[in-house]
Amino acid sequence: MNPAKRSPSCAELVKDRLYFAILFHKPKSGSTSTHYFCIDDEFVYENFYADFGPLNLAMIYRYCCKLNKKLKSFTMLRKKIVHYCGSDQKKQANAAFLVGCYTIIYLRESPENVYRHLLFGNVSYLPFRDAAFGTCTFHLTLLDCFHAINKALQYGFLDFNTFDANEYEHYERAENGDFNWIIPKKIMAFSGPHSRSRIENGYPHHAPEAYFPYFRRHNVTTVIRLNKKMYDSRRFKDAGFDHYDLFFADGSIPNDAIIKAFLNICENAEGAIAVHCKAGLGRTGTLIACYIMKHYRMTAAETIAWIRICRPGSVIGTQQHFLLEKQSEMWLEGDVYRSKLKKTQKLAVTKILSGVDDISINDSKYQNASRKDSEPYSDEEETHTVTQGDKLRALKSKRQAKAYSVPLTVILQSSVQKSKQSKPSISDSAGLSKRTTRSTARKSSFKSLMPQRERGKEGKGRLYNKYAYALPLSQGREVCYVEQ
């Protein structure tokens, strides 16, 4: 049966070849002319609260590889390929998102055309929402996400010829560092380090030293902290990194001085910048979004969509509306910045921000680290109470627990036994024999953050692959492309 005749429950994306359908019953197998496949239970969004998408970069990549393989398969050359989904509206939105991304990335369709094709019959898609607990006040549409993917392609943020899905999935896990690149080779977001590596309430904390090897290999030269001090910044500084403090309260929005200082630091950094708050989601995503809007003229919705595709759960609550309000201001500042940069050929950004003649990134107004840097803050409001960042970190560590069976008590018992046998150091390869979930993760060291493939480069005679991972980089990665 021709899938096109199933209208209004089917969209033809490539004539006589590729279709997207919403079916309320599983199609019969064995058709000689049509191949049906469903990914509803294969690519699943890991939610915090009521959020359900969009799916992350690795899932987009793996879906595209899967679909490319089907389209190139010799046994399916004469078949119509139908990606179908069921009646779950949340899964419909994510399925449409994946197939839409494919047509934009590989078929070079415009976001508007893709979205129009997917609105077949009376179909409508649920808008995505933030990871906050409570009522949604900001809707992120499927079209916003398509525009984000398209802009990411234009600006070089997205390149599946070089993208490593295994590495992405490795480092986004809490036990391996919990970080993601938002702008490759320029800005990354990560969960805040702590004074020492340990497991606390089921969540693995990492000391600053745990990040040094990766940061050095990827030319990260600057660290920006947005939350209250949980570690001594001199540990980064003594290792050769620039470190800045731009604190504002968890779940809140930054003032103009913080935004200007953040942009100034990013625009003058010699290498890449690593930004963190507590969970590396709300405050971190908000300031990175300001940078993207200023320098790439993306809309607030497109920017939020891209950051969430890279790092799900980013930008929360009032921060979304704040970015909408800041959009035109950031665009204007970006226009002025680029105009003056062309004339002067100098990165004199401190002389062009809103008429301010001199904003020094080393000024004590922004560089809180200059005051009693060796002593962590003792702040009752954020340090000793459960904040939004704490809740999001806890949810992130627990949401995959059902997929694994090693209980936290076993891990803690193992950790206690190890500590009795030998005094741990930052260079120890600490861990369990098997990889666990975020809620049952092992203690981290700077070796434990490195995938097996990268650790192998440190020395042939050293057994850094002692502890197994679910997705070791040594398995190799697929390169996903379409012949032009």
Residue positions annotated with a catalytic role: 277
Which tokens in the block code for residue 451?
């995938």
**Cis bond leading into 8, ω under 30°?**
yes
Question: Residue 438, SS3?
Answer: helix
DSSP 270: S
Output the CA–CA distances (angstroms, integers) from residue 170 to 102, 404, 435, in the order listed: 23, 16, 11
Backbone angles phi, psi at 201, to 5 degrees: 55, 35
Q: Which of 247, 291, 294, 292 has the alpha carbon at shortest distance from 265? A: 291
Burial of 436 (0-12, 13-18, 19+ CB in 10 A): buried
Which tokens in the block code for residue 376?
């962590």
Residue with tokens 């069921």: 86
Q: Tell me how long the chain is.
A: 484
Backbone angles phi, psi at 198, to 5 degrees: -165, 170
Q: What is the torsional sign of CA 365, 370, 371, 375?
A: positive
DSSP 9: S
Cα(140)–Cα(130) distance, integer angstroms = 8
What is the torsion angle, in degrees rounded to the nearest 10, for the CA atoms of residue 253, residue 255, residue 257 and residue 260? 50
